[in-house]
Amino acid sequence: MSKIFGSKELCNCLIKLGFLPKPQNASSHQKYSIPLGLKPPQGLRPFIIVILGKNKYDPHTCSSYVSQIKRLGIDFEKIIEYLYK
């Protein structure tokens, strides 16, 4: 994946995919639980933690976030569409 993105784009993508933000208390991280009705594969956490306040993540971090979402069973094309739209 050649494009990079920041926390704002990632949070918007997760919300469009149906992830639910959890309450946060003065932290630089936000927890998003998986969409209702989606069961995570065996051994995977039912949430994603996003580092907030980043205009652009480094390419490795971008790839890692996309991989995490993909492993939860979300379609890759849909992820890319929502991230870069």
Provide the whole-model pTM: 0.90
Residue range 28-80, pLDDT digits in tens: 999 999 998 888 889 999 999 999 999 999 999 999 999 999 999 899 999 99
Task: Name the band, by pLDDT with cuts 50, 70 and 90, for residue 2.
Answer: low
- Three-state secondary structure call for residue 68: helix
Residue range 15-25, pLDDT digits in tens: 999 999 998 87
- Three-state secondary structure call for residue 32: strand
Task: Name the band, by pLDDT with cuts 50, 70 and 90, for residue 1.
Answer: very low
